Structure 1
Amino acid sequence: MVVAKPKLSYEESRQKRIEENKKRMEALNLPQLSQALRTSPFKPSPKKQSKPRIVEKQLVVVRRSSRVANLPSPVYKEVVVERVAIPRRTSKPRDLNLVYASEEDRAEALEKAEKLESSLGTDFPIFIKSMLPSHVSGGFWLGLPVHFCKTNLPKRDEVMTLIDEEGEEYPTIYLVRKTGLSGGWKGFAVAHELADGDAVVFQLVRSTTFKVIAL
């Protein structure tokens, strides 16, 4: 027959657990360690002190070229620039005394030249040239119709003689590559007072001779 042990009260159980824990602590030497921790003075770890940042400034001598190293430093002067209104350029004729023909005058002269051309017949090659500023001023260069030159004029540079209505002769230089009259043409133009808009009839009466009529 088993006799049941009497049930311990709460206070008795609590006291029993305390005694058991005390024995375990004594076995692990925990009371002495706890006491040592209480009595030892607390020493905080020293705080790391940050060093102040030192910025070192140095004066650096700029390296100068050996060619100018010994020369004095340049002195700069203040320059005041004034804006000047420049008049707008307009195209001007090279000859200020040149009179420009109107379109009506030019057309009238061409009409007269065409009537003269038709009256001269077709026995000799003919062409009409309306005068421009470059023909009667400045360089006095007279370009001739390319087709007429290739068909009727010499194949090399030649002296072409111009004969006016009075029978006066004017030698000129014909340049085959430029198909025009150069030296000597100025003398003819000045002598006959040719102006812008005039019409001139050229009739080739011989291989190197033109009969010229200015209108």
Structure 2
Amino acid sequence: MAEPNSYEEQRRRHVEENKRKLGELRLHHLSAAVRDAAVKPMPTKQLKLRKAAAPPAPTRRSGRVASLPRQPDYRNITLPPDLVYVAEEARAYALTKAKELKNQLCSDHPSFIKPISNYAATSSWLNIRSQVNKRYLPWSDEMIFLVDEEDGEFQMPYYALRGSFGTGWKWFAIGHKLADGDCLVFQLVEKTKFKVYIIRGSSYYEKDHC
């Protein structure tokens, strides 16, 4: 009968030893904390609404740029769906009138004539290489101004290698409703500024030519 008592005694000692070790490691406190955390509901996190950002302030223009006339906004202007071609008589009439005007301009400022085709009236480029002596034009790429008969200024790049006006010409053409058969007279009034006179091909039909 001594063996069962000895076994029970050993078992009791093992249990007490384990309890002592658990106490040293404080694992029973950790398990209790985990149990309490599982039962305790997590607090609901409130969402914060972000305020809409204020619209950016208008871009400040430098004194030199601010002094220039504000460019018209042609972004909402669409090109006509159908291209219209004028008769050769109307084209020749506009060219003749352009030559007469060119002869009346001050000879101190070089000038040239540029007939307008449907392509030139709707393109983003205007090549002037063959119409004017290159010595009057900038030798490198530079911003230039076209000034219409109402003194409205239109800024656009001039590309020396191509001998043409770039982006900005399209808005000038649309804004002035240039069409096939028109003729433009360009007069170089400053190093990078041209005065532009428009002779309409359609003016042929306003005369007694029909």
Q: Under a length normalisation based on structure 1, what TM-score does the superposition of the two structures give? A: 0.53
Residue in structure 1 matched with residue 155 of structure 2 by the alignment: 171
Identity in percent: 42
In structure 2, what is the Cα distance between the partners aligned to 1:183 and 1:214? 20
How far off is 1:121 after superposition? 2.8
Residue in structure 1 matched with residue 198 of structure 2 by the alignment: 214
CA contact (8 A) 2:115 2:182 kept: yes
1:123 to 104, 108, 113: 108
How far off is 1:149 after superposition? 4.8
Q: Larger % of helix: which? A: 2
Residue in structure 2 matched with residue 156 of structure 1 by the alignment: 140
Shift in alpha-carbon separation, 1:191–1:185, aligned structure 2, 3 A: same
CA contact (8 A) 1:160 1:174 kept: yes
Q: For each residue in 1:9-65, what CA deviation from the matched residue of structure 2 results, as whole angstroms up to 9, or x when unmatched?
A: xxxxxxxxxxxxxxxxxxxxxxxxxxxxxxxxxxxxxxxxxxxxxxxxxxxxxxxxx
Q: For each residue in 1:93-124, what CA deviation from the matched residue of structure 2 results, as whole angstroms up to 9, or x when unmatched?
A: x9641111211110000011111101113110
Q: Which runs of 5+ in 2 are unaligned?
A: 1-78, 200-210
Q: Under a length normalisation based on structure 2, what TM-score does the superposition of the two structures give? A: 0.55
In structure 1, what is the Cα distance between the partners aligned to 2:163 and 2:129? 7
How far off is 1:147 after superposition? 6.8
Residue in structure 1 matched with residue 84 of structure 2 by the alignment: 99
In structure 2, what is the Cα distance between the partners aligned to 1:117 and 1:147? 13
In structure 2, what is the Cα distance between the partners aligned to 1:153 and 1:193? 26
Residue 112 (str. 1) matches residue 89 (str. 2): no
Question: Where has structure 1 moved over 3 Å in runs of 4 or more?
Answer: none
Q: State the SS of the aligned residue for 2:195.
A: strand
**Higher RCO (C-alpha under 8 Å, 6+ residues apart):** 2
Residue 193 (str. 1) matches residue 177 (str. 2): yes
CA contact (8 A) 1:101 1:196 kept: yes
Q: For each residue in 1:120-158, what CA deviation from the matched residue of structure 2 results, as whole angstroms up to 9, or x when unmatched?
A: 131100000000121111x33211034725210111001
**Matched pairs, number:** 121
Mapping for residues 9-88 of structure 1, pairs under 5 Å: none
